[in-house]
Amino acid sequence: MSLLTWQQNNKKYTASILDYTAVVSEQAGYTFTAHIEDHNKTVLREWEGDPVEFDEVEQWAIFSAIDLEQIGSKDEAQKGMLQTLDLCQPVLSTSAHPSHLQRLQNIREWVLHRTTHEQEMVHATKPSTSYVFNWSEENANLYQAITPHGKALIIEEETAKSSYLINPASRYKAQIEHASGAIYESRELFMDFVNAEHWIHKTLMELDDPRIAEYFLGNIHFTLNICKHSLPPDVEAFHRTRLEYLEMLLDEVLL
């Protein structure tokens, strides 16, 4: 399914993205290249590399348009990013823990003022909530507990069998799944259930803290991922790409 509304003229397809036009050209074997041009038909970006499938050049075109917007006029870049963030506010206010809404507001302030993470760390808050889990066994290797941030899941994964082991060991994957479908997943596998549960408890405590700083990048990504999943299906595709672009900006500044 196309993300943009395309107009076809022979083997060329055009679509408007913000103040730009994406032009996709069909090549041999139903593959495509693309470029981005302005209203004067000046080429601003051009696909580099071999022709690829249509959806890949379409994604490239949307990202390129957002990149051009964000590296152009500071006022227009800020206006565009705030427009997208303001679309997220009402969906978060009804579907997510209040800390996500506060974090989104802090992200909005960062877009306005571009403060550094050292400055943000001054505004320290200490979450007071402690979490106790009531685990239910959904099947032989899946455990679930309901939390204010979504479902906490611990998934048992059996390691490869070895002739040197009497019983194969298990490893545990931990994640938090928001109702929107956004997932906050541990980057590591744990050797026992208790350690996986500890990661979930620690992560939930951290999610309660809405600060914008390097230590909380995982929280930032989770909040923006909830936004991407919660936006209406018919919202213009560039809004989700703007959120991905914002994640990239925050990674560069905070890391």
Give the mean model confidence (pLDDT) for residues 84-99.
Answer: 93
pLDDT of the residue at 122 = 45
In 3D, which of 112, 133, 225 has the Cα closest to residue 179?
225
pLDDT of the residue at 140 = 83
Q: What is the pLDDT of residues 123-133, one digit of tens each?
A: 555 555 789 99
Domains of the chain, residue spans: 7-71, 74-126+209-254, 136-207
Tokens of 41: 């038909």
Give the mean model confidence (pLDDT) for residues 221-230.
Answer: 97
Give whole-number Cα distances, 249 to 8, 111, 128, 161, 246, in Å.
34, 10, 30, 43, 5
Percent of the chain scoring above 90 in pLDDT: 80
Q: Point out the least confidently predicted range of 124-138, 153-167, 175-189, 198-212.
A: 153-167
- At 29 the three-state DSSP class reads coil
- pLDDT at position 49 over 60: yes
State the Cα torsion 163-165-166-167 to the nearest 10°. -120
pLDDT of the residue at 114 = 78
pLDDT of the residue at 121 = 46
- pLDDT at position 164 over 60: no
What is the rounded distance in angstroms from the CA atom of residue 6 to the CA atom of residue 29?
20
pLDDT of the residue at 169 = 65
Give the mean model confidence (pLDDT) for residues 80-87.
Answer: 97
Tokens of 157: 């994964």
pLDDT of the residue at 113 = 86
Give the mean model confidence (pLDDT) for residues 4-27.
Answer: 96
To 5 degrees, how large is the angle CA 169–CA 170–CA 173?
Answer: 155
Alpha helical stretches, state H, the chain: 54-71, 74-95, 98-113, 117-120, 193-207, 217-230, 237-254
Give the mean model confidence (pLDDT) for residues 235-239.
Answer: 95
